[in-house]
Structure 1
Amino acid sequence: MTQTVLPGAVDWTGDNPFVYLKTDPAGDWSSLSLFFRITSSVHGTGHLILVVTDPYEADLAKAIGLTDNEPLARFLIDDFASHFALFRPTQALKNPTLHTNAVFTQSLGDSEWVESATDDTAQTTIAMRWQNLGAPFAVHQPKHESGTTRHEMLSVFRPAQSGTVEVNGTPLPGATVERDFFGRRAQSAAMALSETWIQA
C-alpha cells in the first residue's frame, strides 16, 4: 500500500519567501533577506523578517530581524536559516540584532506582493516586495537535498520577476539576478508558500 502520511514530526509550516540581491551580478550576494509567516511550529505561531547585509564581508556583515515571537525567531535563525546554503558562510547570524515587538502587515496587488514589519520601540521598519509573480510550482526535497539535511521540505514556489527590500524607507543596494532554481531559471526572489519542514 502506498504510504500517504509522512512519519516525521513537523517542525514548522507556513510561508518563507526570500529576496537575494547583488550589486555586481558577477560578484557575491550583497544582501540576503527572508520572511517567515509560521502557522504551526514547536514554538507556536508568529512572524520574522530577517535581513543580512554584506553577508560575506567579515568586518561588515550584519543581521537584523523583526519578530513578534522571539523563541520562534531564534529557532528559525539557529536551526534553519543558519543552515541554508547561502547563509552558511556568514558569521552575522551568530549574533543577530533581534527586535521583538514588531507588528506585521501584508499588501497584495495585481502585480506586487509586500510583507512589512514595524517595531516602534526600535524605530525600525523593514519591507520586502516581490513584483510580477509567475505561475506556482510544487517542490518536495528529500533530506539529503534540503537546506538542513535533517528534514524533508515541501513548498509551493512562485518566482518573481524582481524583488526589493527597504530598511527604514531606504532600498538596499543591488538587484535580483537570474539563477538556476529547481531545474529552471528564475530571478533570486520568490514566494515560498505552504512551506513545511518535517524531521526525517
Structure 2
Amino acid sequence: MPLNEPITPGVVDWTGENPGILLKDENGNFSAMALFFRVAWSPVGQGQVLLLLGSPDQVEGPPNAPNVILSDNPELTAFLKKNFINKLAAFANAPSFATLPEIGAHAVRSSGDPMSHRYTETIAGGPLTVELVWEGFEAPRALELSPHEVASGEQNMFSLLVPAHAAQIIVNGHVLPGKLGTRVQAGYETTTAFLYFSETWIIPPEGS
C-alpha cells in the first residue's frame, strides 16, 4: 500500500506502542500471552493497558491464575477490547478472555534499550507486578499494512516492528512457562515476541 498522498485518508483509531509476547508449550499451544498498549492518542484519551493471559485455558483470575487486565484508563480498556482485542483470535478465543478481571495499574515503566540487548516493560497493579522482557533483537522493519494484512481485518496500520528472539513474562518474580514460536507478518516470518513502536491504526474511508 504505497503512500501516494501526503495525508493518509481515513479516521485515526489510535496510536502508540503495542509490544507483545506469546509463549507456547511443547504441543504448540499458547501457554502464556501478554499484550501491552501505551496509547498516545485515542477517542477516549491516553493510557496504558496490559492484557495478560498467563493461563489462557483457565477461566479463573488472580490469585488462582495470572489472567488479568492492568490498566490506568478503564475507558481505554473497553475501547481496545471492543475495537481491537476482540478481533485477535488467539486472545478472544481463549477461555480466560471473557471473564478477565480488571485491576487499576498504579505504576508503569519501561527500561533498557531496543537498540541494545534487552528491553522491559513493568506494570504493577493491586497484588501483581508483571515484567515483560525482550532480548535478542533484529533490525527494525517499517510496516505499512492494509486491512487484509492485519488481524482486525478493518484498519490500515503503520508501525515500526522490532522482533525479538528471546522473551519472558514474569509475574511477581515467577517466570511463566513456554517458549517463543514463529508467526508471519505481511509475508515476513518473525517471532511471537515483538516491539511495535509508532503504531497507528487508521479506519479507511467507506468504499476504499
- TM-score exceeds 0.5: yes
Identity of aligned pairs, percent?
A: 30
Question: What does 1:43-192 correspond to in 2, within 5 Å?
Answer: 43-55=44-56, 57=57, 63-109=67-113, 110-119=116-125, 122-192=126-196
After TM superposition, the structure 1 stretch with the greater mean CA deviation from structure 2, 61-70 or 133-142, is 61-70
The offset of 1:198, in angstroms, is 0.8
Q: Contact 2:59/2:99 (CA < 8 Å) preserved in 1? A: no
The offset of 1:98, in angstroms, is 0.9
The offset of 1:78, in angstroms, is 2.5
After TM superposition, the structure 1 stretch with the greater mean CA deviation from structure 2, 76-85 or 175-184, is 175-184
CA 1:162/1:156 → structure 2, altered by over 3 Å: closer, same or farther?
Answer: same
Q: Contact 1:129/1:163 (CA < 8 Å) preserved in 2? A: yes
The offset of 1:60, in angstroms, is 6.3
The offset of 1:30, in angstroms, is 0.9
Aligned-pair RMSD on alpha carbons?
A: 1.9
Q: Which of 17, 22, 25 matches 1:23?
A: 25
Cα shift readout 1:91-150 (whole Å, capped 9, x = no counterpart): 43222111114210111143100001112xx21111101002110001122123322222
Q: How many corresponding residue pairs?
A: 195
What SS is found at the alignment partner of 2:30? Answer: coil
CA 1:107/1:52 → structure 2, altered by over 3 Å: closer, same or farther?
Answer: same
The equivalent of 2:199 in structure 1 is 195
What SS is found at the alignment partner of 2:139? Answer: coil
Q: Contact 2:159/2:196 (CA < 8 Å) preserved in 1? A: yes
Q: Contact 2:37/2:49 (CA < 8 Å) preserved in 1? A: yes
Alignment partners' CA distance in 1, 2:83 and 2:103: 19
TM-score by structure 2 length?
0.86
Unmatched tracts of structure 2, length 5 or more? none
TM-score by structure 1 length?
0.89
